[in-house]
Chain A
Amino acid sequence: MTLLLVGLKKLYRDYAMIANSNSIRFDAPLNKADDWVFHRTNELVEERCQKLYVRTDRLFALLMVLQWVGAMVAAVVISPLTWVGAHSNIHPHLYASIFLGGILALGPIFLAVFYPGRPITRYVIASAQMLFSALLIHLSGGRIETHFHVFGSLAFLSFYRDWRVLVPATIVVAVDHLARGIFWPESVFGVITPAPWRAIEHAAWVIFEDIFLVVSCVSSARETRLIASNQVALEKTNAAIEEQVEDRTRELSQKTDALQNEMQERQALEGQLLQAQKLETIGQLAAGIAHEINTPLQYISDNNEFLRDQFTSLLQVIDKYAQQIDPDAPKRSWADRVEEVQTTLEELDYEFLKEEIPQALAQTMEGLERVTTIVQAMKEFSHPGSALKEGADLNRAIETTTTVCRNRWKNVAQLEMALDPDLPTTPCLIAEFNQVILNLVVNAADAIGEKQDREKSKQVGVINVSTHCDGDWVEVRVKDTGGGIPEKIQERIFDPFFTSKEVGKGTGQGLAISRNVIVEKHGGDLRFETVEGEGTTFIIRLPLQENESMATDQEAA
């Protein structure tokens, strides 16, 4: 009894579900978001159902053709001829299979082709399918096996997942049985006066199958709804993600712009820092340069004083000679005259003058040349340079820079130059390059000086500056015989504000700026090789061909 109640309850629930599942819809939406989900879900469900209906319509159109052919084959095999004694004629069943089967098949095929997916199409298909069952049963001589066509057709109709399709199919079966039961009862029940419940019994078996198929259809429809609902949720999530991505992209774009601005500011600051360091260097070098200029000026001045003094002596000699040839002077003998001149020459130490004056003049000339060189070097070194890279003679730049900072290295080291005379002009920012060479040479001199202090040695070190061309690259090496770079600080030497020098001696910007100039601004490479206690070699590599990205950056800058 309990089981029966449970069964009835379930049946009622299924019935309620069926009644509510005509268009597989949910309850009305509550708000705008729900409204969108509701409508989108319905849209997807309808789209999927429509596709399914069209696909199933086509399947049935194909099935109709097959059934038509099958009916003809069945008629030919089962009852090809009808006989009157020894004479035969084509059996009416064969005509029926051709014409009646044709009419039966063509209606649904027409609708499936021209009106696919419409309710009327599947209702007609359902009805025609059941009539085909009747025809095939008839042609097969009422074989019980052929009756399975009815149940198979119902199952096939459930492919539509629309339980309403089963209604016309069941009605056709019921009407067929009812009509036969009324007009030809024997054709269905085998007796002329069947019990009234037999028609109901026949229909009941069809309905029995219908119940399962309807439940299956409703279940499928619910699954379709669920899938659509999931898809809508997915679409919603995707939309949210896309929106989020757009927001993030926008933010990222803004941050990129901000970063670019910062980079531009940084570049400007770097330029200012470079200039500041240059000025600082010039300031630091000023005393040395002054000393460098002062030394030649000193002996130029001394020589000038010497020449001035000696010029008086020379004038006395010239006066003496002039007196000898003066016609108004008292007449003296040639010997007196010679004696007088010789006396004067001896007094003035003419031999000394003859030897020293040219030397003094030469020294003065040399001193002036030296001053000119220093001034020219200063001028070139302190030139702000172009904002764009230009072809430059690196050898010349190295000579200039080493001249400017001569006072920094001349007391501790000997400068050796091995400059490649065939070095091609190299695209570079010459002012920045000068600064790098200056930093490296000064560092080299400082390293040698520190080593001398540490070892309390007076042995002069060597700074070797060399250049050479290596394929598409120019390589500049600055080698010193200093103490080398300790391993523990090797990784940090290019860090800004890092210095191993005494407080007040180094700013810690030299190598950081040098690296920035060579790597960032020239697309080159700056590295070092060092052996602790023996010295360090800094290697600069500059490209001869400027790469495109660098050029673009440069133009943008």
Chain B
Amino acid sequence: MGPKAVSTNSNCHALLRMGKACSSHRRLVLAGCVWLILLGVGFGMLMVYSQTPGDVEAPPVLSVVDVKYDSSAPTQSHTLVMAVHPRCPCTKATMSELERLKRHCGDQLSCVLLVYHPADAADDWMDTAVIAAAKRVPNIVFVKDVEGKQAARMGAFTSGSSVLYDRKGEPQFWGGITAARNHAGDNMGFDAIKALVNAFETRRTEAPVYGCALGNGMN
């Protein structure tokens, strides 16, 4: 009886240990699955947020927009009018793309920046990294857009919304020049503008725009 009892006991202990190990292993696998799901959800949400464009409408002709600015620069073949929120972090990427665009297009492209400005904003409203980056772009014209009214007329409700007008003031492209929120690098808008300015392309095109809402309409 004795040895048998011992044997049974040790078997029980072995089974118990095995059971505990299995249970621990199962818990670990379960935790790993939960961890993976959480990561998937988190990255998915982040991706969705980054890839969700802001509102943009087909713009009217340039004369309707009635951009008031000091046009001392020589007449260009194309004019890019861009509405920006000076405090939008995503627009910093737009500024770097704009700078790159100017480098590619040179004198063929004139730029007008409609800087969103609340009516009751403090004096330092425009002392931001976005404006500092914009100032590095050559031959750019800044227009103080109080409450974003001019941008709204242009159909731009999101920071970074750009419209490319040809010499006749007809909109040839509208949308953003970044691939995602605050994401510099190759993108569809950039390529479209470059092609239009260099006359490689004549079709009207549009691209999604990523940035903060200007708070002047749809958003």
Contacts and interface: CB of A to CB of B under 8 A. Distances in A.
Interface string A80-102: 11111111100111001001100
A276 interface: no
B36 to A, nearest CB: 9
B49 interface: yes
B183 A79 contact: no
Given A100-B43, A141-B93, A191-B191, A84 B215 contact: yes
Interface in A94-123: 96, 99-100, 103-104, 107, 110, 115
Contact of A138 (B46, B88, B118, B121): B46
A80 B120 CA distance: 22
Contacts of A85: 85, 116, 118, 147-148, 213-216
Contacts of A142: 93, 179-180, 182-185
A141 B214 CA distance: 20
Given A92-B49, A190-B179, A143 B89 contact: no
A47 interface: no
Nearest to A187: B180
B139 interface: no
Interface size class of B (residues with CB under 8 A): 35 or more
A91 B43 CA distance: 15
Interface string B155-192: 00001000000000000000000011011111110110
A141 B184 contact: yes
Contacts of B35: 103, 107
Interface string B62-94: 000000000000000000000001011110110
Contacts of B214: 85
Contacts of B43: 100, 131, 134-135
A190 B35 CA distance: 31
B47 A141 contact: no
A103 B184 contact: no
A79 B90 contact: yes
Contacts of A184: 47, 51, 180
Interface in A119-149: 124, 131, 134-135, 138, 141-144
A115 B28 CA distance: 10
Contacts of A86: 118, 120-121, 215
Contacts of B195: none
B50 interface: yes
A86 B147 CA distance: 9
B39 A83 contact: no
A189 interface: yes
B188 A190 contact: yes
A369 B21 CA distance: 109
B46 A84 contact: no
Interface string A419-431: 0000000000000
A192 interface: yes
Nearest to A92: B49
B186 A191 contact: yes
Interface in A57-85: 78-85
B219 interface: yes
A91 B45 CA distance: 13
B50 A138 contact: yes
Contact of A84 (B39, B185, B190, B212): B212
Contact of B85 (A83, A96, A100): A83
Given A79-B182, A92-B46, A131 B216 contact: no
Contacts of B106: none
Nearest to A99: B42
A83 B184 contact: no
A193 B46 CA distance: 22
A84 B213 contact: yes
A348 B35 CA distance: 153
A186 interface: yes
Contact of B186 (A81, A138, A189): A189
Given A85-B213, A143-B184, A186 B179 contact: yes
Nearest to B212: A83
Contact of B185 (A88, A104, A138, A190): A190
B57 to A, nearest CB: 17
B39 A187 contact: no
B32 interface: yes
B38 interface: yes
B212 A186 contact: no
Centre residue among A99, A104, A138 by max chain B CB count within 10 A? A138
Nearest to B96: A141
Interface in A517-550: none
A255 B33 CA distance: 73
Contacts of B219: 84
Contacts of B51: 184, 187
A141 B182 contact: yes
B180 A186 contact: yes
Interface in B122-178: 147-148, 159
Interface of A: 78-88, 91-93, 96, 99-100, 103-104, 107, 110, 115, 124, 131, 134-135, 138, 141-144, 184, 186-187, 189-192
16 contacts: A79-B182, A84-B215, A84-B219, A85-B215, A86-B215, A87-B215, A93-B89, A100-B46, A135-B46, A138-B46, A141-B89, A141-B184, A184-B51, A190-B179, A190-B188, A190-B190
Interface of B: 28, 31-32, 35, 38-39, 42-43, 45-47, 49-51, 85, 87-90, 92-93, 116, 118, 120-121, 147-148, 159, 179-180, 182-188, 190-191, 212-216, 219
Which A-B residue pairs are the 5 nearest by beta carbons? A85-B215, A190-B186, A79-B89, A100-B42, A141-B182
